[in-house]
Amino acid sequence: MYDDIVNIEVSVVAIKKFAKGNLLAMADVELFIDGVSFVISGIAVRRLKDVLAVEMPQTTNAVGHPIPAITLPPEVEQPLAIEVARAAGFESIEVVEAC
């Protein structure tokens, strides 16, 4: 395992809020990881029963089942989820598990 410390910055570059069904918002996020920048588009904020879920974009596999379009390690996904939830107007959240 690497012992190097890597700086990660998360910036919500766009967010659109919804008031329909369980979809609360869609976001685009720019990540800066050790000097490299990239954008993840289509991050969803949903209300699932009594839980707020921040979900990474999905695509479909060859037989039409939904699969993640990108998989991030928890050390990156959790801060990203917190920033997206805050940008969607949810200031006080607890990360249980990144979706």
Give 59-79 pLDDT, tens digit per residue: 999 999 999 999 999 889 988
Counting the structural domains of the chain, the total is 1
Does 97 fall in a domain?
no
33 by Cβ neighbours in 10 Å (0-12 / 13-18 / 19+) ranks as: middle
What is the distance in angstroms between the CA of the first residue and the CA of the last residue of the chain? 25
Backbone region of residue 60 per phi and psi (left: phi > 0; alpha: psi in -120 to 50; beta: other values): beta
**CATH number of the domain where residue 64 is located:** 3.30.1120
Q: Is residue 98 scored above 50 in pLDDT?
A: no
Mean pLDDT across 31-57: 90
Does 66 fall in a domain?
yes
The pLDDT mean for the chain works out to: 87
Q: How confident is the model at residue 99 (pLDDT cuts 50, 70, 90)?
A: very low
CA distance 98 to 28: 17
Least confident piece of the model among 30-39, 55-64, 84-93? 84-93
The domain containing residue 81 runs over which residues? 8-87
